[in-house]
Amino acid sequence: MAFENLSDRLQMAMRRVTGKGRLNEKDIDDMMREVRLSLLEADVHFRVVKAFTKGVKEKASGEKILKGLNPGQQVVKIVRDELEKIMGEKAVPLTINEQGLTIIMLVGLQGAGKTTTVGKLAKFLQGKHGKNPMLVALDVYRPAAIEQLKTIGQELNMPVFEKGTDVNPVLTAKEALGFAKDFNHDVIIIDTAGRLQIDQKMMQELIDIETAVNPDEILLTIDAMTGQDAVTTTKGFHEQLDITGAILTKLDGDTRGGAALSLRQVTNVPIKLMGLGEKLDQLEVFHPERMASRILGMGDVLTLVDKVTDNIDEDDMMGMMEKMMSGKFNYNDYIKQLKMIKRMGSLGGILKLIPGVGKAMKNQDIDEKQLVFVEAMISSMTKDERKNPRLIERSSSRRRRVAKGSGRKVSDVNRLIQTMQQQVKMMKQMKNMDPSNINPNNPLGSIPQPKQKKKGKGKGKGRFRF
Amino acid sequence: MGFFKNLFSSKAQKEKARKYKVGMDKTREGVLSHLKEVIETSKSIDDTLFDEIEEIFIMADMGVDTVVKFVDHLKDTVSLKGISEAEALKELIIDEMFKLYVQDEVVTSNLDIVDERVNVVLFVGVNGVGKTTTIAKVAHEYLNKGKKVLMVAGDTFRAGAIEQLEKWAQRVGADFFSKPAKSDPSSVMYDALNYAKQNDIDLVLCDTAGRLQNKKNLMNELEKIHRVIGREIEDAPHETLLVIDATTGQNGLSQAKIFNEVTTLSGIVLTKLDGTAKGGIALAIKEELGIPIKYVGLGEGLDDLEHFDLEEYMYGLFSGLF
């Protein structure tokens, strides 16, 4: 996950401090050097790093801290607050007109991910805002760029307005406006060709398009893996166009994504959205304050909550919780649960959002095929077996039959049964848990975690139990 | 003290380096020209100056570890040699840089392509780095050398990727092989190599879908592609090139490491060096993993792919100093 390494480094830098009762000047200097290097390693722009460590040092050197009871914790808090300050305090929403047409234009360097993001954004606006988008293909330079957008349009079942590669993009843009109005589209999303911010001729084209269609949003698409140059790029685009926001792409990689920290600080351009995968539904609102937590390894619980609420029918969920807690959970429910999880998106992605899990899973890959295997095994059970998990627990011939039917081994079936039992047990414990005992700083700490440490051996490697 | 004088006295060298310089001069705010400013405005050599030098190298994405090590070494050398004038630092920096990256190195940037066999080059990398365009440029180079070149559309995933490569193939006049979108890329390679054998192809250039190196399933897919190629043609792929975008930051190291584990890289192609980014990450990769840079991309035209020459590149980096 992005930022994971940064949080590792910061945590390591902080660990030395956390055990300590008092900090002297040298402790703080040492720590600031670690913070500085780790931020630089994370591709945060060096000027931002400078300002950041200076701010943290000033606050940390205050007398109150040095005499405080737990200076380590206080410094961590200062680092976090400062990070949040740089990232921008709140998510800045897209400007979407309630009435009439909203025009959005994507710009950026070559290969940043504009065309894919245009498709994602269209799906996002259709799903979250109930809009009726139309896509406009203005990349007449890269071979097959228009075909790419058309394929995406087909997949989304949305029209793509294009005039081939021989028509001037400015003219096409103008025409697209009229077309959108005639066909009652309320959002148009314009894909432009990738270009260098120092290419005067190509930048002039963007300025002409801007003048011609007067977009509500001009979004700079920027690769999360960008190094120190991110600031130069953003500045260049911003000086010539009225950039209203940025979209950070490829954040599902293992980049530390420090560019995100720099952008707002140096250029004042808010990051509005982030791309988290190659599929068209993998675009999310960028929440700077959550990102700051993520940097510090505190997990991104809020995004998880959003995902769950977006994808799960509440009644379904409550019914299932009730069943689980009463111990009547059976294989039919299990498969329902699996399907919910699948709907939420990539399994690995979800688990990483849970605090603590991101780190634990760092080198493990969640094999989504396992889900398919589990489904196959459950499908090989009879109706009665699915309703009553004890049948299969008690009979080895039933287990053999299920293994055969699903093409798995008996040991796989046994593991499934174990997982099922564990889950029921865990849910029962949860039910008996007194909410007043929950540690507010570590709400999951009071829940007995299923044993996960056995991973890394043979077939069960990378399996996560449900 | 040899490198500095060599580099800046040889006229031929300078002429050869011209194209690099032109490419990299587009930089409005020359990263390393800051170095000149910093050194020239500094009266004495002190920690502040070293900090600033460190920052300038980091700004070129040269790898934090490498830079910290380098600057520490610089500090030692300065005190050892008793250098007290900031101006003398310029020369020292260049000499030390060359020692670090260039010395004793006889690396050819030519690809391992020989007559009398079907040569296979596999292009890998994360999304959006310019793999497809690079393939077109390499095809163009070898077509001009009279080779029969086949371009293979191994990116069956991304929308429009096959069409993109096909258009390039038409433009440069190469043979082209593809299967329908969403086909298994390994099966595309299998069929393409058989096509190559039957049609007397000299050079097969295999495109692959962009993939982030932390996506296990996609890396497994790549491993399979690599294996299938090796099974069809002995010792193939003869070259596996990782394409890296010059704007990439420290993540480039992670890319190189993981792709190298899966496919054993023979070289790096550093693209988009005509922008403002200095692509210093390629130096970090060379330093840490020993994978040589073979090509640099300096523009969108078919001729804008240059064989990499470390000395020329260094010249491009440091020319702003003087």
- pLDDT tens for A195-210 read 999 999 999 999 999 9
pLDDT in tens, A31-43: 777 778 777 877 8
User: Which run of H or of E encompasses A67?
Assistant: helix A63-67
Q: Is the pLDDT of residue A361 over 90?
A: no
Does residue A92 sit within a domain? Answer: no
Among candidate residues A87, A116, A140, the one where a domain is terminated: A87
Q: What pLDDT is recorded for position A372? A: 82
Q: Percent of chain A having pLDDT more than 90?
A: 36
* Minimum mean pLDDT range among A3-12, A220-229, A270-279: A3-12
Beta-carbon contacts of residue B74 (< 8 Å; ≥ 6 apart): B50, B53, B89, B92, B93, B96
Q: Is the pLDDT of residue A353 over 60?
A: no
Write the CATH number for A310: 1.10.260.30
Taking the C-alpha atoms of residue B302 and residue B242, their distance in angstroms, rounded to an integer, is: 19
| DSSP output for A439-450 | -TT-GGGGSPPP
Among candidate residues A274, A298, A322, the one where a domain is terminated: A298
Q: Confirm or reject contact between B38 and chain A (CB < 8 A).
A: no
> For residue B31, what is the nearest residue in chain A, using CA coordinates?
A229
What Cα–Cα distance (Å) separates residue A278 from each residue in A351, A436, B188, B212, B274? 18, 43, 21, 10, 27
Nearest to A227 among B26, B254, B277 (CB): B277
Q: Which residues of B touch A230 (CB under 8 A)?
A: 247, 249
Average pLDDT in chain A: 77
Among candidate residues A34, A52, A87, the one where a domain is terminated: A87
Write the CATH number for A68: 1.20.120.140
CATH class of B119-321: alpha beta
Beta-carbon contacts of residue B277 (< 8 Å; ≥ 6 apart): A227, A228, A229, A232, B61, B246, B247
Same domain, A246 and A338: no
Q: Is the pLDDT of residue A11 over 80?
A: no
Q: Which residues of A touch B23 (CB under 8 A)?
A: none
Beta-carbon contacts of residue B210 (< 8 Å; ≥ 6 apart): B125, B126, B127, B128, B129, B131, B155, B158
- Beta strands B149-152; B175-177: pairing state: parallel
Given the cut 0.90, state whether the ipTM is greater than it. Answer: no
Q: Which residues of A touch B168 (CB under 8 A)?
A: 143
Same domain, A338 and A382: yes
Q: Which residue has the higher pLDDT, A76 or B234?
A: B234
**Binary contact (A147, B160; C-beta < 8 A):** yes
**Binary contact (A43, B251; C-beta < 8 A):** yes
Domain count along chain A: 3
Identify the band that residue A56 occupies on the pLDDT scale cut at 50, 70 and 90: confident
How many other CB atoms sit within 10 Å of the CB of residue B237?
A: 24
How many other CB atoms sit within 10 Å of the CB of residue B16?
A: 14
Distance from the A430 Cα atom to the nearest Cα atom in chain B, whole angstroms: 34
Q: CB-hemisphere CA count at 13 Å for A261? A: 32
Identify the band that residue A446 occupies on the pLDDT scale cut at 50, 70 and 90: very low
Q: CB-hemisphere CA count at 13 Å for B204? A: 32
Q: Which residues of A touch B249 (CB under 8 A)?
A: 43, 225-228, 230, 255, 258-259
Q: Is the pLDDT of residue A214 over 70?
A: yes
Write the CATH number for A196: 3.40.50.300
Q: Which residue has the higher pLDDT, A152 or B314?
A: A152
Helix axes A200-213, A229-240, angle to 10 degrees: 50
How many other CB atoms sit within 10 Å of the CB of residue A78?
A: 18
What pTM was computed for the model?
Answer: 0.74
Distance from the B69 Cα atom to the nearest Cα atom in chain A, whole angstroms: 13
Question: The domain B2-101: what is its CATH number?
Answer: 1.20.120.140
Q: Is the pLDDT of residue A46 over 60?
A: yes
* Minimum mean pLDDT range among A149-153, A211-215, A276-280, A371-375: A371-375
Q: What pLDDT is recorded for position B27? A: 43
Question: In terms of Cα–Cα distance, which of B313, B300, B322 is closest to B21?
Answer: B313
Q: Which residue has the higher pLDDT, A444 or B281?
A: B281
Q: What pLDDT is recorded for position A69? A: 45
Does residue A466 sit within a domain? Answer: no
Quick one: average pLDDT of A444-462? Answer: 39
What Cα–Cα distance (Å) separates residue A165 from each residue in A90, A151, A211, B321? 41, 16, 21, 43
Same domain, A183 and A247: yes
Quick one: average pLDDT of A306-328? Answer: 63
Listed by start position, the domains of chain B span 2-101, 119-321
Does residue A360 sit within a domain? Answer: yes
* Inter-chain contacts counted by CB atoms under 8 A, chains A and B: 155
Domain range spanning residue A175?
102-298
Q: Confirm or reject contact between B220 and chain A (CB < 8 A).
A: no
Q: Do domains B2-101 and B119-321 have the same CATH topology?
A: no
pLDDT tens for chain B, residues 1 to 322:
455 555 555 545 555 555 555 555 544 345 566 777 788 887 788 888 888 888 888 877 888 888 888 898 899 988 888 888 887 888 888 888 877 777 656 667 788 888 889 999 999 999 999 999 999 999 999 999 999 999 999 999 999 999 999 999 999 999 999 999 999 999 999 999 999 999 999 999 999 999 999 888 899 999 999 999 999 998 999 999 999 999 998 889 889 999 999 999 999 999 998 888 878 888 888 888 889 889 999 888 898 998 888 777 777 667 666 5
Same domain, A318 and A399: yes
Name the burial class of residue A174, with classes exposed (0-12), middle (13-18) and buried (19+) by CB atoms within 10 angstroms of its CB: middle
Does residue A93 sit within a domain? Answer: no
**Binary contact (A144, B212; C-beta < 8 A):** no
Name the burial class of residue B204, with classes exposed (0-12), middle (13-18) and buried (19+) by CB atoms within 10 angstroms of its CB: buried
Q: Percent of chain A having pLDDT more than 70?
A: 68
Name the burial class of residue A141, with classes exposed (0-12), middle (13-18) and buried (19+) by CB atoms within 10 angstroms of its CB: middle
- Retrieve residue A125's tokens: 């606006």
Detail the DSSP E strand segments found in A23-145.
102-108, 133-137
Q: Confirm or reject contact between A118 and chain B (CB < 8 A).
A: no
Does residue A180 sit within a domain? Answer: yes
User: Which run of H or of E encompasses A345?
Assistant: none
- Beta strands A160-161; A133-137: pairing state: parallel
387-446 in A: which are within 8 Å (CB) of B?
none
What DSSP state is assigned to residue A226?
Answer: B
Same domain, A253 and A123: yes
Quick one: average pLDDT of A133-142? Answer: 96
Place of tokens 């590669």: A165
Taking the C-alpha atoms of residue B270 and residue B241, their distance in angstroms, rounded to an integer, is: 10
Q: Which residues of B touch A147 (CB under 8 A)?
A: 159-160, 163-164
Taking the C-alpha atoms of residue B269 and residue A227, their distance in angstroms, rounded to an integer, is: 17
Do A279 and A156 touch, CB atoms closer than 8 A? no
Q: Confirm or reject contact between B128 and chain A (CB < 8 A).
A: yes
Q: Confirm or reject contact between A165 and chain B (CB < 8 A).
A: no
Nearest to B159 among A152, A232, A365 (CB): A152
Q: Which residues of A touch B29 (CB under 8 A)?
A: 232
| DSSP output for A259-321 | HHHHHHHHH-PPEEEEE-SSSTT-EEE--HHHHHHHHTT---HHHHHHHHHHHS-HHHHHHHH
221-240 in A: which are within 8 Å (CB) of B?
223, 225-230, 232-233, 236
Q: What pLDDT is recorded for position A427? A: 67
The residue of A160, A200, A252, A255 whose CB has the most chain B CBs within 10 angstroms, and thus the best one to mutate to test that interface, is: A255
Q: What pLDDT is recorded for position A25? A: 75
Same domain, A107 and A51: no
